[in-house]
Structure 1
Amino acid sequence: MGHKLRQHIEQITPLSDAEFDYILSHFTPRKYKKHQFLLQVDDPVRNDFFVLSGLLKLYHTDAEGKEHILQFAMEDWWICDYQAYFNQTNATLAIDCIEDVEVLCLSLQNRDKLCSELHKIEHFFRRKSNGGYIAMQRRVLSLLNNNAKERYEQLLAQYPMLFQRVPKTLIAAYLGVSRETLSRLS
């Protein structure tokens, strides 16, 4: 279980066995079933989630009941309502399992503790956050500048494995198009 996390962290910074054991002791493993929620709107946001196995979606449901997917997360990805996590407020987004999922949960208190005690982990999370900011900026620019076909092709090129695991209705919700429009694009 911890092995995947260690490989993930060591893509950025090396760890000794003792350092990794200490880091892992701050995480809580959890399993969720397909369609189960990790987080619902108005819940307190207690954890950031590192995905060991399975597939999740982070989304907002508008006043008309339409789902807007902000993020998918699969193995070796992180997922959370970060605004609520870092501000310690209630969730404005939901996280739901598309498949059965195993995650490692990290509370903000444990994250802050690890970052203050281990420069390597602070460096790791800073690099992960920077990558997340860049990805979000690219996504916003793609939504502003690209048509539906270009967004579809960009997603397919970047994450071809998503198309094998995610129903077309969810891909459409991520791209901001109807299911019918997605069928014409694919």
Structure 2
Amino acid sequence: MVNSKEILKEHISKLISLTEEQLDYVFEHFHLMSVKKGQRLISEGDLVHYEYFVLEGCLKSFYMNDNMKMFILQFGMPGWWVTDFDALYNKTKASINVDCITDASVLAISNDDREKICSEIHEIEHFFRWRTNKGYVAAQKRLLSFMNNDAKFRYEELLAMYPQLYNLVPKHLIASYLGVTRETLSRLQQ
């Protein structure tokens, strides 16, 4: 089993400086979850109370349209945060799903607990604001790549940025993330 406390502390300490006591206090607001491959953390229509910090394994957030076509919004690898942020922050029902591609360990923090520690420790508020901004920038870059680049470029870009994905994630999910068919992905890999 991973040392969840040390992984979270290291993750936070890359950006901000906290005392050991503050880091311990922050960690107390998270709870460790072991989740199995295929297990769903969020289903469309759920009320969303938690965001998840991935310790090990791989998750995906995705949307299923009316024709049951899957659109991958995000993969959640170790060190990444995953949830339906719209539903979490706006207290609405989930419009996306989050499940496990592999067995995984995550730390869950509720919206209320995150807000509590942010109000008590200014540096943690800075950390979460930075993390949210970083996620927004990544989503914007991905959207611009979809608008400006062909599938071959997007495939090569994904491979260069996250080579470990290809060992963790089934090819049909990578194809879904890239917005192509499995057959097209096979041609792109040649």
Cα deviations by residue, 1:88-117 (Å, 9 ceiling, x for unpaired): 111110001000111111101001001110
CA offsets, 1:39-63, max 9 Å, x none? 1111110100001111000000011
TM-score normalised over the length of structure 1: 0.99
State the superposition RMSD in angstroms: 0.6
Q: By how many angstroms is 1:83 displaced?
A: 0.3
Is residue 2:84 matched to residue 1:84? no
Match of 2:174 in 1: 171
What is the rounded CA distance, in whole Å, between the counterparts of 1:38 and 1:15 in structure 2?
30
Q: What stretches of structure 2 of length at least 5 have no aligned partner?
A: none
Deviation at 1:76, TM superposition (A): 0.8
TM-aligned CA deviation for residue 14 of structure 1 = 1.5
Matched, 1:15 2:21: no
Cα distance in structure 1, aligned partners of 2:44 and 2:133: 26
SS of equivalent to 1:89: coil
SS at structure 1 position matched to 2:48: coil
Q: For 1:164 and 1:102, how far apart are their aligned partners in 2?
A: 18
Amino acid at match of 2:153: E
**In the alignment, which residue of structure 2 is the partner of 1:71?**
74
CA deviation after TM superposition for structure 1 residue 32, in Å: 0.8
- What is the distance in 1 between the residues matched to 2:11 and 2:92? 28
The separation in 1 between residues aligned to 2:178 and 2:141, in whole angstroms, is: 13
Once the two structures are superposed, the pairs formed by residues 27-176 of structure 1 within 5 Å of their partners are 27-176=30-179
Secondary structure, aligned partner of 1:18: helix
The one-letter amino acid of 2:104's match is V
Q: How far, CA to CA, are the matches of 2:152 and 2:144 in structure 1?
A: 15
Partner Cα distance (1:67, 1:109) in 2: 31
Query: How far did 1:33 drift?
Result: 0.5
Deviations 1:5-46 (A, max 9, x none): 000000100121100110011111111100010111111101
1:107 aligned partner, one-letter code: S
* Structure 1: 4+ residue segments shifted above 4 A: none
User: What is the distance in 2 between the residues matched to 1:166 and 1:158?
Assistant: 15
Tell me the distance in 1 between the aligned counterparts of 2:132 and 2:46: 23
TM, length-normalised to structure 2: 0.97
- Aligned residue pairs, count: 186
SS at match of 2:155: helix
Cα separation, 2, equivalents of 1:52 and 1:185: 31
